[in-house]
């Protein structure tokens, strides 16, 4: 591949070549280096909200998915201090929602859960908030289980940018922030969502669920059952924009 | 008023409402970037934004309706459900509480048979709390339908309750309720200026854009909004940035609790504010400016619009300003709607564009990619005034004032335990003790400098000096005497941050609300040393991974008070080191309330 302008920065002591315009995360993944991430998806503009991808750049912390790569940066990622922070962030996300993995259809395909395993999050860490977030089961083919939403906005962007529909949006502020759909009734059945929408396949956790196919791939044979996310993510990284979706 | 049979979000639109909606949307040029302004007008006119209005606005602006709900639900003063014909919000800063606001609120709730946060059954009134309204020198304060009322007393509360019961329109309430004093206690070069309109602008025109930038750089002026960035460098970067258009934005969001100096500047020195903005326009090459006024200062809008119009009439705004061909500049006022985060510069710009006030990913910074992604010079109200003063006095004279790294003067908003709260203008380098002497404070235990996100200092530090070298400040100066419980001060600030977190990033959204729960747990006598350790853990995560300054500073109040006043925490702790957060007896509180029981049998025995 021809790079227009390329240069290098250091990631955990190893040189990483990057193109102008790439972020630290994009360059690292393309070069085969994994940095943990959750809200970042290679096909979409970085959101920068989960903060799991936090690295140290020349000694200061920054989100690597939004940090523009620059020549000569000294980036640290796989160090105890940062992995401890990431563990805390994962614990926070688990405590914020209602995540009962054993009964969740997404178990094994869930990025949050996979990160939990990979970062060795062994305990809850924080008291759970047990928010009251009723399901939306109004649609004949699709279930929305808001209990698991991590507010990454991927479905919002996928629906707007790829599907051209704006089915999803985020509402509220602070810890009452939540996902809403585009209907006067507030119900998914009154939106124009379709099973073939990109928005159906981007959720990293188990919010947007196709009804009826539930456990067709048995637990144990799922995406992150086979290989840890740190390896899986590298395969996904340099995909062209029309590449295959997560499922 | 239609409040009866219909569900709270379903108020039907009458023909006159529809024509009002059409008119407002038309007034804003059917422009979706004016969505927040449109919603604010609808809120003001209809008392809330009913569901059919959401649909109507969505169709007219040709935007998805969930974008409207998404924006409206971000701002505290916009409601998608009716909150009553009268919406009463008590300012809930610690200084309001110190002046007795909680008792007043309780009294009013009793008087009107209401529970806080609930709308009365007849749809008449709701009572709740809001973050500091910027009336700290004349509290306790409240907002009724977003209009500020100051100096609350039991009698005033009684009268307000009567007016509400009688359904007296707000416009017929006694004018002195809405009186806001300036309380200028000490004037300096800024507040004491004797400039006439247009004087500094003439000086600026004589210099020209490039020389204005040089002059402001040489003056050593640094931003007065908190971060203290050198103003000249910012203007220079904006001037040099490529773009279709350049913009000037004045940050009048003034949301940091305990800060009210911008309120006084906008009241007394509006011309100087606009003149500073116009000088900046000349310096960076902007044709358009915005002043982002916090919703709490809605009462200043007519006054400010009047000043703008007078300046247009005097050739100080508009086309060919002061006869200079091609020097075009005008200023538009945008109102906020109750969101502290919109004081953060990139969140403010999002809000100006009619979006949720969520801070952007930076870089790029506003000087290159600001309003509509164009180069934007964004500064605090006081900064624009100081820049005008620097141009007027000349850089040499200006930089001789203050200290080496903090030139010029600073407006300090003094509130709390002292007989003379108000605005004090000092040269940088003034000591905390000097200010305490001037405002008459005695037996002072602590001073909170620069608001909850700033720093809390104890008695042994009162010789420290205000300035970027030692104690940087955006202006808040809250005084606490030895009768105050510094734990409760910190707890109030922690509640503030949790309420105002925009919710974008994990650490702040979850961390501030966990911190709040921990402080409440300690306050309830359920805390342990384990909880104090958890605070330190939360602090580390918030400081290192938060997206913006709100999250990064949210733990400061607890850390600072823990450092100086640890016994205030420890006296509340249980002796054991771990106590589960789940309080079984507490969980039964709701059942007790529902059954009206509070006898011993309705409580669980404490078993540890
Ligand atoms: C959470 C938060 C709230 C802020 N609120 C205000 C504010 O109310 N007024 C203000 O001028 N600056 C505020 N700032 C600082 C602005 O981001 C920005 O630095 C400032 O307006 C720049 O102007 P200056 O250089 O003149 O100080 C806030 C920053 C943060 C992080
Ligand atoms: S539903 Fe899924 S994709 Fe959408 S915001 Fe929530 S977690 Fe993200
Ligand atoms: S730190 Fe808080 S206020 Fe700032 S972006 Fe994150 S959630 Fe929003
Ligand atoms: S992956 Fe970077 S913030 Fe979420
Ligand atoms: S308004 Fe009451 S303290 Fe600020």
Asked if B251 and B322 touch (Cβ cutoff 8 Å), the reply is no
Q: How far is the CA of B415 from the centre of ligand 5 (A)?
A: 9
A63 contacts in chain B (CB < 8 Å): 361, 545, 547
Where among A78, A112, A140 does a domain terminate? A78
Angle between helices B506-523 and B556-570 (to 10 degrees): 20
Please check the confidence at residue A99 and state whether its pLDDT lies above 80: yes
Pocket test for ligand 2, best of A41, A47, A149, A201 (most atoms within 8 A of CB): A149
Considering the domain architecture, whether residues A109 and A204 belong to the same structural domain is answered as yes
- Same domain, residue pair A90 and A212: yes
pLDDT tens-digit series, residues B319-366: 999 999 999 999 999 999 999 999 999 999 999 999 999 999 999 999
Average pLDDT over residues B200-213: 97
Partner-chain contact B545 A182, CB within 8 Å: no
**CA dihedral angle for residue B263, residue B498, residue B511, residue B227, rounded to 10 degrees:** 0
A216 against A239, higher pLDDT: A216
Asked whether residue A223 falls in the same domain as residue A136, the answer is yes
The answer to the question of residue A234 being in a domain is no
Does A238 reside within a domain? no
pLDDT tens track for B163-175: 999 999 999 999 9
* Ligand 2 geometric centre to CA of A180 (Å): 10
Rg (CA), chain B: 25
Atom 20 of ligand 1, nearest CA residue: B225
Average pLDDT over residues B441-452: 98
Is the same domain home to A89 and A202? yes
Do A111 and A62 fall into the same domain? no
Residue A241 domain-assigned (yes or no):
no
In a domain, A38, yes or no: yes
Residue A23: CA count within 13 A, CB half-sphere: 26
- What is the CATH number that goes with domain B487-570? 1.20.1440.230
The model's confidence at residue A246, banded by pLDDT at 50, 70 and 90, is very low
Give B479 or A247, the one with higher predicted confidence.
B479
CA-CA distance, A41 to A52, in Å (whole number)?
13
Q: Is the CB of B343 under 6 A from ligand 1?
A: yes
pLDDT of res. B587: 53
The span from the CA of B315 to the CA of B327, in Å, is 11
Confidence band of A242 (pLDDT split at 50, 70, 90): very low
Task: Give the residue from B365, B304, B363 showing the smallest Cα distance to B332.
Answer: B304
One domain for residues A220 and A107? yes
Angle at alpha carbon of residue B435, lines to B142 and B460, rounded to 5°: 105
Domain boundary assignment for chain B:
15-72, 86-181, 185-399, 410-482, 487-570, 582-608
Provide the number of structural domains found in chain A: 2
Name the residue of chain A whose CA is nearest to B583's CA. Answer: A127
B254 C-beta closer than 6 A to ligand 1: yes
**CB under 8 Å to B44, separation ≥6 — which residues?**
B145, B146
Domain made up of B185-399: CATH architecture: 3-Layer(aba) Sandwich (3.40)
Q: B residues 481-500 near A, CB within 8 Å?
A: 498-500
Residue B187 confidence (pLDDT) above 80: yes
Q: Could you tell me the residue range of the domain that residue A103 belongs to?
A: 84-229
Is the distance from the beta carbon of residue B388 to the nearest atom of ligand 3 less than 6 Å? no
- Best mutation site among B89, B129, B134 for ligand 5 pocket (most ligand atoms within 8 Å of CB): B134
Nearest to A51 among B356, B505, B517 (CB): B505
Mean pLDDT of chain B: 94
CATH of the domain at A13: 3.10.20.740
Tell which of A78, A95, A123 closes a domain: A78
Same domain, A42 and A103: no
- B405 alpha carbon – ligand 4 mean position (Å): 37
Residue B473 Cα to ligand 1 middle (Å): 11
Is the per-residue pLDDT at A4 higher than 60?
no
- Radius of gyration of chain A from Cα atoms? 18
Q: For B86-181, CATH number?
A: 3.40.30.10
Residue A217 and residue A113 share a domain: yes
Beta carbons of B501 and A151 less than 8 Å apart: no
* Whole-number pLDDT of residue B8: 62
The fold of the B410-482 domain, in CATH, is Ubiquitin-like (UB roll) (3.10.20)
- Rounded to an integer, the average pLDDT of B388-395 is 98
Q: Which residue, A63, A78, A93, sits at the end of a domain?
A: A78
Same domain, A47 and A99: no
What is the A90 CA–ligand 4 centroid distance (Å)?
12
Q: Which of B344, B360, B381, B547 to mutate to test the pocket of ligand 1 (most atoms within 8 A of CB)?
A: B344
Residues A222 and A146 in one domain: yes
Residue A21 shares a structural domain with residue A134: no
**Helix/strand/coil (H/E/C) assignment for every residue in B87-129:** EEEEECCHHHHHCCHHHHHHHHHHHCCCCCCCECCCCCEEEEE
CB atoms within 10 A of CB A17: 14
Cβ-defined contact of B509 to A174 (cutoff 8 Å): yes
Same domain, A124 and A196: yes
Q: What is the pLDDT of residues A105-157, one digit of tens each?
A: 888 889 999 999 999 988 777 888 888 888 999 999 999 999 999 999 999 99
* For residue A180, cis peptide bond before it (omega within 30 degrees of 0): no
* Cα gap A108→B518, rounded to integer Å: 33
* Complex confidence, ipTM: 0.91
CATH of the domain at A150: 3.30.70.20
Contact B503 A51 (CB under 8 A): no
């Amino acid at each position: 591949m021809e790079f227009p302008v390329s240069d290098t920065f250091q990631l955990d002591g190893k040189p990483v070549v990057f193109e102008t315009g790439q972020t630290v995360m994009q360059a690292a993944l393309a070069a085969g280096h994994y940095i943990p991430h959750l809200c970042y998806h290679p096909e979409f503009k970085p959101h920068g909200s989960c903060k799991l991808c936090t690295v140290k750049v020349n000694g200061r912390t920054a989100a690597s998915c939004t940090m523009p790569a620059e020549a000569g940066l000294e980036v640290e990622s796989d160090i105890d201090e940062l992995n401890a922070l990431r563990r805390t962030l994962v614990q926070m996300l688990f405590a914020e929602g209602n995540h009962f993995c054993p009964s969740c259809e997404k178990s094994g395909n869930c990025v949050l859960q996979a990160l939990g395993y990979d970062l060795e999050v062994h305990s809850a860490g924080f008291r759970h908030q047990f928010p009251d977030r009723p399901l939306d089961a109004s649609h004949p083919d699709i279930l929305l289980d808001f209990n698991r939403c991590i507010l990454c906005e991927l479905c919002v962007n996928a629906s707007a940018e790829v599907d051209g529909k704006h089915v999803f949006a985020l509402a509220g502020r602070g810890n009452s922030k939540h996902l809403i759909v585009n209907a006067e009734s507030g119900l998914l059945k009154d939106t124009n969502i379709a099973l073939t929408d990109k928005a159906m396949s981007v959720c990293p956790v188990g919010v947007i669920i196709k009804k009826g196919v539930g456990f067709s791939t048995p637990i144990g044979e799922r995406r992150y059952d086979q290989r840890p996310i740190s390896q899986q993510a590298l395969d996904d990284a340099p995909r062209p924009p029309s590449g295959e979706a997560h499922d | 008023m239609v409040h009866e049979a219909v569900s709270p979000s379903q108020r039907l639109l009458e023909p006159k409402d529809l024509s009002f909606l059409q008119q407002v949307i038309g007034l804003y040029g059917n422009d979706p970037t004016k969505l927040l302004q449109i919603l604010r007008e609808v809120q003001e006119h209809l008392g809330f934004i009913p569901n059919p209005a959401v649909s109507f606005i969505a169709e007219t602006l040709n935007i998805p309706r969930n974008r409207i709900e998404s924006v409206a639900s971000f701002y505290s003063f916009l409601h998608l459900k009716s909150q009553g014909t009268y919406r009463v919000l008590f300012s809930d800063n610690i200084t309001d509480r110190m002046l007795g606001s909680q008792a007043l609120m309780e009294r009013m709730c009793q008087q009107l048979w209401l529970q806080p946060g609930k709308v009365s059954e007849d749809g008449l009134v709701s009572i709740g709390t809001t973050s500091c309204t910027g009336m700290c020198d004349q509290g306790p304060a409240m907002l009724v339908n977003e209009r500020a009322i100051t100096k609350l007393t039991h009698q005033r509360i009684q009268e307000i309750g009567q007016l509400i019961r009688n359904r007296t329109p707000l416009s017929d309430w006694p004018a002195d309720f809405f009186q806001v004093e300036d309380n200028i206690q000490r004037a300096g070069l800024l507040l004491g200026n004797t400039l006439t309109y247009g004087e500094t602008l003439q000086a600026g025109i004589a210099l020209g854009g490039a020389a204005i930038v040089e002059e402001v750089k040489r003056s050593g002026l640094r931003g007065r909004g908190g971060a203290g960035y050198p103003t000249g460098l910012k203007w220079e970067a904006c001037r040099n940035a490529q773009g279709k258009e350049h913009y000037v934005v004045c940050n009048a969001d003034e949301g940091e609790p305990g800060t009210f100096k911008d309120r006084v500047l906008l009241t007394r020195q509006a011309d100087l504010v606009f003149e500073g903005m116009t000088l900046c326009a000349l310096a960076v090459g902007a044709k358009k400016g915005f002043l982002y006024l916090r919703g709490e200062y809605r009462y200043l809008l007519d006054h400010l619009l009047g000043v703008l119009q007078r300046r247009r009439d005097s050739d100080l705004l508009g086309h060919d300003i002061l006869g200079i061909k091609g020097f075009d500049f005008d200023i538009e006022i945008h109102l906020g709607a109750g969101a502290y985060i919109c004081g953060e510069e990139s969140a403010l710009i999002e809000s100006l564009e009619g979006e949720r006030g969520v801070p952007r990913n930076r870089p790029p910074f506003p000087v290159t990619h600001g309003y509509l992604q164009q180069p934007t010079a964004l500064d605090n109200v006081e900064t624009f005034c100081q820049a005008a003063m620097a141009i007027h006095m000349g850089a040499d004279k200006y930089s001789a004032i203050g200290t080496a790294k903090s030139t010029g003067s600073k407006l300090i908003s003094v509130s709390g335990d002292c007989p003379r709260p108000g605005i004090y203008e000092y040269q940088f380098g003034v000591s905390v003790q000097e200010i305490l002497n001037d405002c008459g404070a005695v037996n002072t235990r602590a001073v909170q400098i620069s608001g909850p996100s700033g720093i809390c200092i104890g008695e042994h530090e009162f010789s420290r000096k205000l300035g970027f070298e030692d104690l940087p400040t955006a202006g808040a100066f809250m005084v606490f005497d030895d009768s105050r419980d510094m734990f409760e001060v910190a707890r109030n600030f922690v509640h503030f941050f949790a309420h105002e977190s925009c919710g974008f990033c994990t650490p702040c959204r979850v961390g501030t609300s966990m911190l709040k729960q921990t402080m409440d747990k300690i306050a309830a006598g359920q805390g342990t040393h384990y909880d104090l350790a958890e605070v330190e853990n939360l602090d580390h995560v918030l400081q290192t991974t938060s997206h913006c300054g709100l999250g990064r500073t949210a733990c400061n109040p607890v850390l600072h008070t823990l450092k100086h006043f640890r016994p205030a925490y420890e006296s509340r702790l249980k002796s054991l080191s771990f106590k589960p957060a789940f309080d079984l007896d507490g969980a039964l509180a709701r059942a007790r309330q529902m059954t009206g029981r509070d006898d011993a049998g309705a409580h669980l025995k404490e078993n540890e």
